[in-house]
């Protein structure tokens, strides 16, 4: 992390955010850090539409769903992702895009089955791993309880990222962009297919 000039602050809360700085509080002491920009990626608030629905919700206000992703008491309605409380999920997986993607596959299968009058399925969702880009040359990847970093992790992150894109067309476009463009972060260009 030192090579990348990254810092990790544990047991620290954000006290204030301004256009040009953020103030951290740790052990009762505040430290202001100047920044060219601040990106906030903490917390998810339930959509007000969901808050106002008269349906069963869990402690955090999420819609309680059956293992088939159907709402309790409303078997013709399905919910998934950030609005749904699925009891058979490990806490680290809740609220993540990878859970929503896994649920999307189950939900699509179950909506088709529901419309046909077939049996609906359930699924045990699993942690697929986490990856973060650390600039253009490095990354950190956590998968299978193991952590790796550096250029090799960047390649692993790329493989994980492209494997989860929705179609082969998307995978090919992103892969070609990264391969032909090298490490320069540039927008995708159409390949002319």
Taking only the tens place, the pLDDT of each residue in 91-113 is 667 777 778 888 998 999 999 99
Would you say residue 141 lies in a domain?
yes
Q: Is residue 82 situated within a structural domain?
A: yes
pLDDT at 109: 95
Domain end (from 65, 87, 116) = 116
**How many domains is the chain built from?**
3
Task: Check whether 156 has a pLDDT greater than 50.
Answer: yes
User: Is a pLDDT exceeding 70 seen at residue 189?
Assistant: no
> Would you state the structure tokens that stand for residue 190, as one six-digit string?
């159409």
**Structural domain range at position 156:** 130-181
Clarify whether residues 67 and 33 are in a common domain: no
> Do 175 and 151 have their domain in common?
yes
Question: pLDDT band for position 193 (50/70/90)?
Answer: very low
pLDDT at 4: 58
Same domain, 57 and 107: yes
Note whether residue 11 is domain-resident: yes
What is the C-alpha separation between 14 and 30, in angstroms, rounded? Answer: 9
C-alpha separations of 115 from 64, 70, 110, 185 in Å: 22, 13, 8, 44
- The mean per-residue pLDDT over the stretch 155-173 comes to 80
**Residues 24, 59 within the same domain:** no
């Amino acid at each position: 992390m030192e090579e990348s000039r990254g810092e990790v602050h544990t047991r620290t809360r954000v006290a204030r955010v301004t256009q040009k700085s953020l103030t951290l509080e740790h052990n009762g002491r505040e430290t202001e850090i100047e920044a060219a920009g601040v990106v906030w990626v903490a917390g998810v608030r339930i959509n007000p539409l969901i808050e106002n629905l008269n349906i069963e919700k869990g402690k955090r206000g999420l819609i309680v769903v059956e293992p088939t992703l159907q709402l309790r008491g409303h078997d013709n309605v399905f919910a998934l992702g950030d609005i749904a409380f699925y009891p058979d999920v490990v806490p680290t997986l809740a609220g993540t895009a990878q859970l929503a993607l896994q649920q999307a596959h189950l939900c699509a299968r179950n909506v088709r089955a529901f419309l046909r009058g077939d049996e609906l399925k359930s699924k045990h969702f699993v942690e697929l791993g986490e990856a973060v880009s650390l600039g253009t040359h490095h990354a950190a990847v956590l998968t299978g309880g193991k952590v790796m970093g550096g250029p090799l992790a960047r390649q692993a992150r790329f493989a994980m990222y492209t494997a989860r894109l929705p179609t082969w067309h998307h995978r090919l476009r992103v892969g070609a962009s990264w391969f032909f463009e090298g490490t320069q972060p540039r927008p995708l260009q159409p390949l002319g297919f």
